[in-house]
Structure 1
Amino acid sequence: MHETAAHAGTVPGTALVRLLDHVGEGVLLCDDTGTVRYVNAAAAAMLPAVRPGDPRPEGLRGREVALGDGLVAMYLDRVDDTAAFLAATAQRLGGQLNADRLCRATIELAVGGLAAAALLVLPTRRGRVRCWHAAGAEPVRQHQAALAELPAAVRDTLDGHPVAQPFLWPGGTPYLGGGGDPNPAAWVVPIQAASGRSAALVVTDLGDHRAELLQEFASRVGAALEAAQLYTAQSRVAVTLQESLRPEPPAAQPGLAWGTAYRPARAAMRIGGDFYGAHPMAGGGSVFFLGDVSGKGVDAAVLTGQVRHSLRALRRVEGDPRRLLHLLNDMLLEGGDDGRFATMVLGTAQPRAGGGLRLTLAGGGHLPPLVLRGDGTVESVALRGMLVGVTDVPVFGQREVLLAPGETCLLYTDGVTEARGGHRGDEMYGVRRLTTALSGCHAMPAPALAERVEQVTADWLGGREHDDIAVLAVRAEPVRTGARHLHSVQRRPAAIAS
């Protein structure tokens, strides 16, 4: 490589040096005296004034590699404004999924590195548009306007005009700085998304030979806007589905009080695989349930919704808890062979003459209910049964429990008992600790009792990750009858003797 230096565009004397003209990165070859010996094509485009034989320019940024024989290769950083502007655009817009913030960032980028003023127009509906705009050092502002108020060139772009075009804004506009020019010159470029929706970007003082850069900038904004709008739409659908799948508070009934607590494993989803519910029965009383489905996340939430909606329909044709579980088991088996199943306790609550409740509980492979008696003791209900949705010949246990006024039956999921915490952080909370925590809580109202179970579980977890948590308390309330009122009749004051 001791050949006479050649300017980019001439043919070097060796194949090794000739390869440098096909490298996208700018490369300067300099000797040990600091003289440029060779400039490849990419470097010549970046530094058109530098030629072989010139002194090495000062202030160049790049990586230097010693090649031997007194030669040093310098790999130049790209320093042109166009590349820097597009790189800043990619960095600023790439991870932005909020459509409003993305539109504001688009205006800030356009005004900061492309034009003197910028306006972004997004059509909404019924002939209305949303506008983000700024000029010079002004902050970005947002307005709504009628589509008919915009110039014809902007309306054509929103209708699908494919390329950037110059135009005059008749009568002037405050969107682009509100200068003294009654017909300011501007450029408008379409921002097209893959979904077919269009927006328009308007800029002023674009400068010579910048239309191509404006088009490239608009295409990058379009890709980012498409992603943000898609994310917004999906988030709206997810929120709607989550709200429809969230457990509903049971309806109050005479002599019966409910307490509920619910905490999904993933707080951002707001739904999980645990569920509970209660519905009034035609003949009086209520059917209630609490359970847990297999799996996590969205799949579990979908199965949870299927179970809840199935029970809502089935309780209209069947009132016996064990037979209800059999019907639900058949529906889950007919739903597919993906191996998903549920555990649950399903029961009915019937008011008793003279006060209290008669509970009929059926078990489908779930944790045993706990009963808080009036003397402060806690009893475990031995309720056996198989998983729901596993076999077409299941066996479900059934028990009857009588609650006196003021007594409560508590249902809970394994998110409570299997919560891992304590001093070491890996010890399960367990039924024993739960029973101890409930001792002496018999006088608590049902909502307060459910909240206490959630709170002691959260304290045990200490902020660690956990499974879904659901609690349902069924409390027998005294039936209040109309009180008798005694009316006193005042005697007329005796006449005062004269």
Structure 2
Amino acid sequence: MTETTASTTPRTDTAPRRHELLAGSGEAVVLCDRHGTVLAVDGRVELLPDTGPGAMIGARPDTGTLRWRRHDLPDGRHLWYVRDVAEETERTDALLAERARSGFLASASRRLGLSLHPARTARAVVDLAVPKLGDTAMVLAPPSAGRVSWWRSDASGWVQQTRLPEPVVDAMAGLRTHCSPWVVEELTEAGWLWPAEQRPVSALVISLPGNGNPAGVLVLTRSAEFTDEDLALIEEFCSRAGIALAGAALYADQVRTASTLQRSLLPAPLPYVEGMSFGAAYRASREALRIGGDFYEVLPLSDGTALFALGDVCGKGVEAAVLTGEVRQSLRALSRLERDPLRLLALINETMLDGKAMPDRRFVTMVLGHAAPAADGGLELTLAVGGHLPPLLLRGDASVEPVDLRGTLIGVFPDARFAGGVVRLNPGETCVLYSDGVTEAKGSRGMFGERRLADALTGCAVMPAGAVAERVELLTTEWLGGRDHDDIAVLALRADPTC
């Protein structure tokens, strides 16, 4: 009896699609009758070039790297699924290698992102490179003042720029020098292959790409040749390392710039003027910056008197700090020409308007005063106010008296009008100037407010000026309870009692 099989059925237009589907599975499929005679082969037929219809397949056909898996059909026929184990192993190895490569790069990115310190970032680059990328590694920073800093896993230092080997010079210029015997020779002659180590077979000097310019150079050595796969991984790693080093260098530059700005804008130590004492407290809204829009200034004059001021620049942060510096410099320069507070405020207003780029809505509020010792040991204060909170006078009987002076903002109107007046401090009495960072400090129970400030000052009547200022700043900080706040500035002037 002749057995009817699927192989006698003419192929239809769906056969190529089935063949492609089976080929995509990675297996060859062999249909056999109940006696083991091959009826059809489909799928990855290239795995079985000598097997076709009519061939006989035994019960255990596994040969070489081919693995056969049998599946019996209800009508007595059976199928063999055949796959190449060597190919699967190769694909698995490739997949594992790619996962290891991706895992290494991801781990490197995380570690390189942990620090913005240039030296620690360079050290991390070296630690990550050994032994994954090379037997030894060295990172060199871009030249600075004719010197090049370098880091290894066990040491760091610097070398004169004129003593760099040619491959390193090329890499510093952005040219990537790959491994070659010439590189090993160049590094050996320059003394850069360290005596304690065996002479490497390969050396690689590669530029670390940065922000427009190389962020440094990585030197790798190996006791074996670098493969193409090694070079691809190294270049990908160098891209990440270069970004991290460039970011750390940029951050370090910003820190140095901010530090220089801070030193130039921080208030000078309060001077000593006979017959009077000053105390101040300051807290910037951004603690890391240490400077902001509030400021105070005390300028002793040659005649034994003093100019003093406390102001508030519109805004916060660096922009406000820059304007603060401009206003303080104007105040210092103009005080050599004018000592009357009202006229001095008018000159500052004109100076700000002359240098203002339109539209520019920055403005300043300020209390400016001139303190002159009186014959009885007290002080005569000539005050001028431009848009600022009124000063408070702490009297000898512990009462607090506001000086009702307001005036308009400084740096807004050409015809600004400022309020002025004269007050007297008896020996032991204090004048307190403060910014709105005190009265507008928001705590869990609302704003600190002017009334609460006045109540706090009633207990400070016998305190020296420095203690009064620190007391106000402390109470304000406690009221905030750790919340965000505006710049806080306090300046206290006390008429020293005569002994």
Q: TM-score, normalised by structure 1?
A: 0.76
Q: Which runs of 5+ in 2 are unaligned?
A: 1-14, 29-41, 45-64, 68-80
Amino acid paired to 2:341: P
Determine the structure 1 residue equivalent to 2:497: 478
Residue number among 134, 143, 148 corresponding to 2:157 in the alignment: 143
Within 1, Cα distance between the matches of 2:66 and 2:171? 43
Alignment match of 2:319 (pick from 284, 287, 299): 299
- Deviation per CA, 1:84-130, whole angstroms, max 9, x where unpaired? 33333333334642211110111111104211211112254455332
1:103 paired residue number: 122
1:400 corresponds to: 422
Question: Equivalents in 2 of 1:472, 1:28: separation in Å?
Answer: 82
Alignment correspondent of 2:196: 178
Determine the structure 2 residue equivalent to 1:262: 282
Instruction: State the AA in 2 paired with 1:375.
Output: D
1:449-485 C-alpha deviation (Å, 9 max, x unpaired): 11000011111111111111000001111356xxxxx
Query: What code does the residue aligned with 1:470 have?
Result: A
Alignment counterpart, residue 377 of structure 1, candidates 399, 408, 412: 399
Q: Deviations over 1:152-171 (max 9, x none)?
A: 54345445543223332437
| Distance in 1 between residues matched to 2:96 and 2:178, nearest whole Å | 31
Q: Give how far 1:253 is off.
A: 0.9
Q: Which of the residues 354, 357, 360 maps onto 2:379?
A: 357
Partner of 1:318: 338
Is 1:389 the counterpart of 2:411 in the alignment?
yes
Moved more, 168-177 or 367-376: 168-177
Query: Residues 37 and 117 from structure 1, CA distance in 2 versus in 1: closer, same or farther, beyond 3 angstroms?
Result: farther
Distance in structure 1 (CA, Å) of the matches to 2:16 and 2:108? 41
Does residue 118 in structure 1 map to residue 137 in structure 2? Answer: yes
Change (3 A) 1:50 1:454: farther
Per-residue CA shift, 1:167-207, capped at 9, x if unaligned? Answer: 324379797682244x7742222234344356321112264
Q: CA RMSD in A?
A: 3.4
CA gap 1:381/1:30 in 2 versus in 1, 3 angstroms: farther
Mapped pair 1:164 → 2:178: yes
CA contact (8 A) 1:86 1:217 kept: yes
Instruction: Quote the residue 1:368 is aligned against.
Output: 390
Larger radius of gyration: 2
Q: Provide the TM-score with structure 2 as the length reference.
A: 0.76
Q: 1:361 Cα shift?
A: 0.7
User: In the TM superposition, what is the alpha-carbon distance from 1:54 to its structure 2 partner?
Assistant: 2.5
Deviations 1:231-264 (A, max 9, x none): 2112211221122122223311111111000001
Q: Which digits, 9 at most, give the CA deviation of each residue in 1:136-160, with x for residues without a partner?
A: xxxx432334456665543454455
CA displacement at 1:222 relative to structure 2 = 2.2
Structure with more helix by fraction: 2
**Could you give the per-residue CA deviations for residues 312-342 of structure 1, whole angstroms, max 9, x where no partner exists?**
1111111111111111122222223311111
Partners of 2:202 and 2:226 within 8 A in 1: no
SS of the aligned residue for 2:337 comes to coil
Cα distance 1:50–1:120, how it changes in 2: closer, same or farther (>3 A)? farther
Q: 1:165 to 1:198 in 2, by over 3 A?
A: farther
Mapped contact 1:133–1:175 kept (Cα < 8 A):
no
Partner of 2:241, secondary structure, is helix
2:217 aligns with 200
In structure 2, relative to structure 1, the CA distance for the partners of 1:466 and 1:79 (3 Å cut) is same
1:430 & 1:29 partners in 2: Cα distance?
79
Q: Which residue of 2 aligns with 1:437?
A: 456
Contact kept? 1:172, 1:184, Cα under 8 Å: no
State how far apart, in whole Å, the 1-side matches of 2:174 and 2:279 are: 57
CA contact (8 A) 1:291 1:345 kept: yes
Separation in 1, partners of 2:152, 2:116: 20
The CA distance in 2 between the partners of 1:285 and 1:30, in whole Å, is 100
Measured against aligned partners, the alpha-carbon deviations of 1:348-383 in whole angstroms (never above 9, x if no partner) come to: 001112312110111112111111112222211111
* Correspondence for 2:248: 228
How big is each residue's C-alpha offset from its partner over 1:20-78, in whole Å with a ceiling of 9 and x where there is no partner?
A: x9xxxxx97899xxxx979xxxxxxxxxx9999528969x99xxxxxxxxxxxxxx898
Deviates more, 1:100-109 or 1:471-480: 471-480
Q: Helix, strand or coil: the match of 2:485?
A: coil
Residue 289 of structure 1 corresponds to 309
Opposite residue 179 of structure 1, the aligned amino acid is: E
Q: Distance in 1 between matches of 2:420 and 2:333?
A: 21
Distance in structure 2 (CA, Å) of the matches to 1:440 and 1:128: 60
- Return closer, same or farther for 1:77/1:396 CA change in 2, 3 Å cut-off: farther
Q: 2:465 aligns with which of 446, 449, 453?
A: 446
Partner of 1:70: none
CA contact (8 A) 1:118 1:176 kept: no
1:190-227 Cα deviation digits (max 9, x unpaired): 23434435632111226433234333333332232222
Which deviates more from structure 2 when the two are superposed, residues 49-58 or residues 462-471? 49-58
Conserved? CA contact 1:255–1:351, under 8 Å: yes
The 2-side partners of 1:30 and 1:474 are apart by 93
Q: Does 1:241 align with 2:261?
A: yes
- CA–CA distance in structure 2, aligned partners of residues 230 and 402 of structure 1: 53
Q: Of 467, 470, 474, which residue of structure 2 is paired with 1:455?
A: 474
Q: What secondary structure is seen at the aligned counterpart in 2 of 1:400?
A: strand
Specify which of 55, 75, 83 is matched with residue 54 of structure 1: 83
Distance 1:147 1:255 in 2: 60
Conserved 8 A contact 2:101-2:233:
yes
Letter aligned with residue 54 of structure 1: R
Matched residue SS, 2:188 = coil
